């Protein structure tokens, strides 16, 4: 997960605080209650306004269940509190495989810009046409960033076909 969770990268820059925790870590520690996680099943279409993970708000994560116990977590990372040191801001998408051996890919960042080293541009953003939609055809899931409202980001979870229609 690189710089997106203190458990993966203790320091991004020397003499600066470490990054905050991801939604995965916060949920496992019971720091995010289930009423702050929006559940959206694959092939469903639902909008969600995500508050910054580093603050308190109505919705802090979206969970999308997949097969074999895997799931996506969608979170909004903004440069505030412990997250002020992060290399980027926007919607971070994590794929969780609870059956993976610890340390061997339990959580993977769905990198919006794989050409950028070290997940430096990993977030999806409505103001970046090259990084505004995540599509997983195999699981029939698409996540489209719609708009920024202050520090909150609205996303649409839908099917790849509907996301592509929305983009036209």
pLDDT at 1 over 70: no
| Contact in structure between 139 and 96 (CB atoms under 8 Å) | no
Measured CA angle at 77 (ends 71, 79), to 5 deg: 165
E strands present in the chain: 37-39, 46-50, 61-65, 71-77, 90-96, 107-109, 133-136, 141-149, 152-158
pLDDT for residue 40: 97
pLDDT at 85 over 90: no
What is the pLDDT at residue 149? 93
Rounded to two decimals, what is the model's pTM?
0.91
What distance in Å separates the CA atoms of residue 45 and residue 123, rounded to the nearest whole number?
21
pLDDT of residue 139: 95
**For 88-99, how does the pLDDT look when each residue is reduced to its tens digit (9 = 90+)?**
999 999 999 998
According to the model, what pLDDT value does residue 167 have? 77
Tens of pLDDT, residues 113-127: 999 988 889 999 999
């Amino acid at each position: 997960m690189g710089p997106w969770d203190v458990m993966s990268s203790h320091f991004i820059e020397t003499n600066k605080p470490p990054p905050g925790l991801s939604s995965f870590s916060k949920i496992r520690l019971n720091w995010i209650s289930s009423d702050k996680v929006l559940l959206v099943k694959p092939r469903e279409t639902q909008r969600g306004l995500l508050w910054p993970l580093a603050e308190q708000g109505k919705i802090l994560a979206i969970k999308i269940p997949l097969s074999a116990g895997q799931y996506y977590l969608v979170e909004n990372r903004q440069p505030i509190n412990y997250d002020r040191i992060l290399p980027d801001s926007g919607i971070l998408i994590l794929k969780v495989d609870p059956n993976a051996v610890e340390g061997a890919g339990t959580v993977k960042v769905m990198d919006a810009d794989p050409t950028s080293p070290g997940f430096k541009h990993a977030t999806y953003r409505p103001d970046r046409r090259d990084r505004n939609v995540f599509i997983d055809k195999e699981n029939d899931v698409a996540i489209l960033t719609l708009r920024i409202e202050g520090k909150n980001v609205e996303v649409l979870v839908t099917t790849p076909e509907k996301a592509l229609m929305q983009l036209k």
